[in-house]
Structure 1
Amino acid sequence: MELVIGTKRWSSWSLRPWLALKRTGASFEEIEVQLRQGAATDAAIAQHSPSGQVPVLKVGDLTIWDSLAICEYLAETFPEAKLWPEDPILRALGRSAAAEMHGGFQALRGECPMALDIRTTLEISEATQKNVRTIVGRWNRLLTRSGGPFLLGDWSIADAFYAPVATRFRTYGIRLSEYGDAGAAQAYAERLLATPEFLEWERASLA
């Protein structure tokens, strides 16, 4: 099994399935393509990806080229890893939250890209502020319903999808207390960035 990813400092889409794959305990080969190298990056990705993007999971002659599709494949292939909860309601809510992140929050993603090697402050736009408020509300409601410590109780694919968001809040000095958080969302963001899997990724990204 091979997981083709982009530069770890920047590739939020690669981080998501990498975290899920690490949680399965399965062995895999990691192929890191250096992003932002123009034609060289395009050529390197084209060797692996039918979409021209990363991440890509390769299992024998099977190629899966979307982060959410990769995570769902892992959940089905490694049920013992419990990447989704057994509770069907929590599972549905988690899939909704992951899909929302997968296809939404364009302002936050565009204005505050993942950059693990940076700490700064940024005056974010009204559109990005709206995204942050929505995310804080979503996190708080899911944490209240599940009882935490992660969105659906135990760690899940939903947390993999929001881990890069937690890095963005940290990188750009976004204070969640200014967006309706009484502390639970901030504590959750800190838990995401303290998992052994994320810390392993971060160390490698800064090496």
Structure 2
Amino acid sequence: NLPLVRLFLKAGAYVTARDKRTRKQLGSLADKLEKIGVRLVLGAGYLDDLTEDVIFRTPGMPYHLPQLDAARARGSAVTSEMEVFLDYCPCKVFGVTGSDGKTTTTTILAKMLQHAGKTVHVGGNIGKPLLPVIEQIKPDDVVVVELSSFQLISVGHSPQISVVTNMSPNHLDIHKDMQEYIDAKKNIFLHQNAFGRTVLNLDNS
């Protein structure tokens, strides 16, 4: 996520990028990152010795990896791009999750809002990374994000408008059981205030 890396470098942060790929597999990207001041930790042991103050977990990375749990125990803040974005987004956010139909629903919703004259920013699993452009988002704009269970599992700030398309067993190779999967999805509405709205599929089909 080069835009996110550049955002933190611009803010004066000391950035370490960790990747299980080797330098050879990264190719010219490794040189590019080092040239702009990024420290690289690559290869099989890329998650060893996580001592950074703030650790950004990628969406597909299991929340309870032993290395991440150890980092939390040492006092590191383990977060994600979407968590921080939802905390600081200046405009109304529409969030879409579910086992199936997320991308279609997100796309249709964004088109409807655009047709209504809104400036719409689409992100999450589709579109572009939104945190690096958060300063360009105006209070009267709207954001539509497609959110997976991996992104939602640690979210503490729900979108103002949430949509759940359906629920069925999914990603149980990553989640420890179906209940953890359900609990992760529930975060899309669990932290709404009294003005929040949630749209559910009554038939769950």
Instruction: Specify the structure having the higher radius of gyration (Cα).
Output: 2
Higher RCO structure (Cα 8 Å, ≥6 apart): 1
TM-score by length of 2: 0.24
Normalized per residue, the structure richer in helix is 1
Relative to its length, the structure with more strand (as a share) is: 2
Give the alignment's TM-score, normalised by structure 1. 0.24
